[in-house]
Structure 1
């Protein structure tokens, strides 16, 4: 999902790209941030990881949404994140420093979910040395943590 944002509610436009595996909460987060409410969504059909690069052009920030309850697919999320984060097109089109990377560790409202530290370790975020990144605990349903992440993007992008 690529979206243009007026410099996070200001006047200057900024392109953000929101990515994540299916059922991570991308659409719910997008609706919660833009509309301030949770909207019942159906799984997005027709989008897949191989087409993500079509959204990269001039992106200032990349938001990766990770389902903190899905331990079984954390390694797949890691593979996709590293594939995207090291894509030369994303870096080349975003300027010398490349797009900043925000990871939303979503579904923190669910008992037994992974902590942001566990998600960070599972995604091997410390290996991403040539890109500014931040991981933020959030719940798409309650909205907790979402504006913290958006504030971080506004401060670094």
Structure 2
């Protein structure tokens, strides 16, 4: 009887999940946030601090924190980790020179106790640009297959068109049990 009640409760309740969107400056984090929210491109400027929006998908609420990615702001990322269910790492697929910085930031983050149970979604953004790295290439460079303590997914996307973002939300929904 308890399992049935739990399943019914999940079916009819609005669950809420905290999501942090991180990545280096100019990766497309804010553009992705507003594509999730409004399904359109919004003119953005570099994020100082954070933006927060609630995205509702199939009765599941994702409270998404888009955190500034400039070098001087990355040390403040830890203040957003508490009770975080998902980490979205946005990677600029054309920025080969700084991919090692994204990798270092990712592995530093995942060592934090507050993120031990978080699931990881890597968005390989800017797939519309010639010369970009594929999602598979980024996955290899980030050594995602070595992540044994975190459930992860990588998704090719384009923040400007929204391509790949609905698949990202679907993956997140499946991770919540929806």
**Matched residue of 1:39: which SS?**
coil
Matched, 1:126 2:129: no
**Equivalent in 56, 78, 81 of residue 56 of structure 1:** 81
* Structure number with larger C-alpha Rg: 2
Identify the residue that residue 117 of structure 1 maps to in structure 2: 136
Show structure 2 runs of 5+ residues with no match. Answer: 1-12, 50-67
Query: What's the RMSD between the two structures over aligned residues?
Result: 1.4
Within a 5 Å distance, the mapping from 1:1-157 to structure 2 comes to: 11-46=14-49, 47=68, 48-91=73-116, 98-157=117-176
Q: Please give the per-residue CA displacement for 1:37-75, whole angstroms capped at 9, x wherever unaligned.
A: 100001113541111111111111110000000000000
- Deviation of 1:126 (Å): 1.4
Runs (4+) of structure 1 exceeding 3 A deviation are none
What TM-score results when the alignment is normalised by the length of structure 1?
Answer: 0.87
Q: Find the aligned partners of 2:111 and 2:153 in 1 and give their Cα distance.
A: 16
Show structure 1 runs of 5+ residues with no match. Answer: 1-9, 92-97
